[in-house]
A = this chain, B = another copy of it.
Amino acid sequence: MRITGIDTYDIRFPTSRELDGSDAMNPDPDYSAAYVVLSTDTGFSGHGFTFTIGRGNEVCRAAVEALAPLVLGQPVDDLGEFARRLTRDSQIRWLGPEKGVVHLAAAALINAAWDLAAAAAGKPVWQFLADLSPQQIVDLVDWRYLSDALGPAEAIDLLQAARPGREERIELLRRHGYPAYTTSPGWLGYSDDKLVRLAAEAVADGYRQIKLKVGNSLEDDVRRMELARRTVGDDIRIAVDANQRWDVGEAVRWMTALAPYDPWWIEEPTSPDDVLGHAAVRRALQPSGIRVATGEHVPNRIVFKQLLQAEAVDIVQIDACRVAGVNENVAILLLAAKFGRPVCPHAGGVGLCELVQHLSMFDFVAVSGSLQDRVIEYVDHLHEHFVDPVVIRDGAYRLPAAPGFSARMRPETLHRFSYPDGPEWA
């Protein structure tokens, strides 16, 4: 099976009209995807995308097209080699390296290749991954720059150690799903009434954790946090998310003011590039029992490695499309397992829930073997555009069963929301 065609789409949803997705750094996002379809010389195709919030989505699409010649005509039988072709081209690597637009574009293509390979194998991606041997899993990873923290031999040991109990864990997922938390109540653009109503609904729907956006106004945040805590009670975890709004000192002061309402974690307190800054925030907040989480904007495995080495985070938040797709996320799952930190993926956006559920299920079955303090973000937007959307029941993601990566948008969506010529935008 070889890739015989690569088609790209600039898909944008006008989410800024309702302030869905509004936070302290992103007041008016138009959730978007640079979307790619791989055709093959068989009946199978592969769909993938990277997520953006509007302007510049066309730049990601241009980057997908710049990378496309590297994999056109190639097989997808060795997905480690496939991913490294896309991240190691010396000329294009100059534009990162391994970060920003070219890395987002590589993610779209790599994720599409996983959709293709899993679809051809007749398995959902989580299972396709979990059925690989430890050696095959390790061969997916680009180990460059990781050896001072973890190498392939130790990773194989980790994976071997996680093998006992796999079938029981799969059975548990089949029965109960994978725990989710919801960000839907907490967007900054929502009124207090809407926050309270949605927080109460979240608890009624079975969620054990919700998340609030913070960082624009401390006074507002104290009021919203108090309202949310009063609404959900003491047993529900409330995470807060500053979306990189603060410097180090400001993060500590702000979170100290919110500490009486027992926030479970502070997410993205400062720049995603600031490993030492996160470590300083974490040290300062440890007496208050507030955890530090980050990752959705962490550019690659090298920065994740340092966040773990520096004990800068309590919770590792992978993103399906910011690092180089499944392969680099496998590296990050292995690093997190080595350092004993739970992985709680970032989701929401466009189709991120659909993708990350596979990574977390794989993590539980084959890598960490644990659900302790692990939750996948859930946001109830835009799922209707997918052929095989996530299913949430009792605050948990149901185990995906359909072959592939759950990444396919409906044909009518690809038509209607194409930018700038689709009917929604024209």
Contacts and interface: CB of A to CB of B under 8 A. Distances in A.
Contacts of A303: 273
Contacts of A248: 147-148
Interface in A67-118: 89-104
A276 interface: yes
Nearest to A103: B100
Given A102-B101, A147-B248, A249-B147, A55 B277 contact: no
A351 interface: no
A100 to B, nearest CB: 2
A101 B273 contact: no
Contact size range, A: 35 or more
Interface stretch (A20-28, A157-165, A286-294): A20-28
A274 interface: yes
Interface stretch (A56-64, A181-189, A233-241, A356-364): A56-64
B63 A56 contact: yes
A27 to B, nearest CB: 6
Contacts of A60: 95
B94 A306 contact: no
A41 interface: no
A297 interface: yes
Contacts of A144: 247, 271
A66 B60 CA distance: 11
Contact of A276 (B91, B103, B275): B275
Contact of A99 (B54, B94, B299): B299
Contacts of A103: 100
A184 B100 CA distance: 31
Interface in A246-291: 247-250, 270-277, 280
A53 interface: yes
Contacts of A300: 273
A25 to B, nearest CB: 6
A273 B299 contact: yes
A55 B92 contact: yes
A52 interface: yes
B147 A102 contact: no
A94 B53 contact: yes
A274 B101 contact: no
Contact of A30 (B53, B91, B97, B275): B91
Given A94-B53, A248-B147, A101 B59 contact: yes
A270 to B, nearest CB: 6
A95 B52 contact: yes
Which residue, A28, A66, A300, has most C-beta atoms of chain B within 10 A?
A66
Interface string A29-56: 1100000000000000000000011111
Q: Which 9 A-B pairs have the closest CB atoms?
A: A100-B100, A101-B101, A55-B91, A54-B91, A148-B248, A147-B247, A56-B92, A62-B62, A145-B271
Interface of A: 25-30, 52-56, 58-60, 62-63, 66, 89-104, 144-148, 244, 247-250, 270-277, 280, 297, 299-300, 302-303, 305-306, 309-310
26 contacts: A30-B91, A52-B91, A52-B94, A53-B90, A53-B91, A55-B66, A55-B91, A56-B66, A56-B92, A56-B94, A59-B59, A59-B66, A59-B102, A60-B95, A95-B100, A96-B100, A97-B271, A100-B299, A144-B247, A145-B247, A147-B250, A148-B247, A148-B249, A148-B280, A274-B305, A276-B309
